[in-house]
Amino acid sequence: MSTGTFLLAKCWLLNGYRCTIHWESHAAFVESYPEIECTRKIFEIDRNRLTCSGGTAAMDMMLNLIGERHGDGRATAVANQFHHERIRSAADDQRGHRPHRSLLPPVLSAAIAVMQSTFEEPLALSAVSQQVGVGTRQLERLFGRHVGKTPQRYYLELRLDQAREMLIYSDRSIIDIAVSVGFSSTSHFAGWFRRTFGVLPGG
């Protein structure tokens, strides 16, 4: 469960298997074990390897196993005992601490996907807008309406969140992490990190 996926990977028990991990640790896990397929699903069951993102995802995983072995009626009865309103399936993604892309307008979701794929070499807003087929003003309005911040600020925070995950869950150096999220110097990176999280990267 949750970061326990790291332990399985360190013991070579996930080679050739699909797995998942808590969203906070996903970036660090993928960096540390690029050969292992790690999804953002709430749980993964791949043959005899069961991993989940933690929290209530463990309940959903167990309820799905009960449903498979004893029927949906039994699974629903168990869920009701725990006041568990909806049994999520293995197809459900983790939502993390930001608005889930599936809940946002398609253009905004596409823009965020572009941002998430270009951390190391961040794009100008005009380039992001061009890739999703809208003007920069329209993209700014969409971010303001649905996210409550400018696209530039959202992009920066995505990169800093990624850096924070890697600082917590990986052994990479600060300069390596800074470069991987688009900062050319540790001082620039440290300044923004402190303004956002209130501590220095090495603190």
User: What are the CA-CA distances from residue 102 to residues 23, 36, 59, 86, 109 (Å)?
Assistant: 16, 25, 23, 18, 7
pLDDT for residue 63: 92
Q: What is the CA radius of gyration of the chain?
A: 19
pLDDT for residue 122: 94
Give yes or no: residues 112 and 201 share one domain: yes
The CA distance from 174 to 154, in Å, is: 22
Please say which residue of 81, 113, 135 terminates a domain: 81
Give yes or no: residues 137 and 183 share one domain: yes
Give yes or no: residues 20 and 72 share one domain: yes
Q: How many domains is the chain built from? A: 2
End-to-end CA distance of the chain: 27
Q: Which residues pair with 19 in a beta bridge?
A: 38
CATH number assigned to the domain comprising residue 70: 3.40.50.880
Please say which residue of 47, 81, 115 terminates a domain: 81
Q: What is the pLDDT along the chain (203 residues), one digit of tens a residue?
A: 988 999 999 999 999 999 999 887 887 888 888 899 999 888 999 999 999 998 889 999 999 999 999 988 899 899 888 888 788 787 777 765 455 555 688 999 899 989 988 999 999 999 999 999 999 999 999 999 988 899 999 999 999 988 988 888 788 899 999 999 999 899 999 999 999 988 998 76
pLDDT for residue 96: 57
**Does residue 117 fall inside a structural domain?**
yes
Give yes or no: residues 44 and 110 share one domain: no
Owning domain of residue 36 = 4-81
pLDDT for residue 191: 93
**Does residue 90 fall inside a structural domain?**
no
Q: Tell me which amino acid residue 62 is.
A: M
pLDDT for residue 100: 55
The CA distance from 188 to 178, in Å, is: 9
What is the DSSP secondary structure assignment for residue 92, as one 8-state letter?
P
For 156, how many CA atoms within 13 A lie in the half-sphere containing its CB?
13
pLDDT for residue 91: 78
For 76, how many CA atoms within 13 A lie in the half-sphere containing its CB?
3
Give yes or no: residues 155 and 183 share one domain: yes
**Does residue 102 fall inside a structural domain?**
yes
Give Cβ neighbours of residue 184 (< 8 Å, ≥ 6 apart): none
pLDDT for residue 165: 82
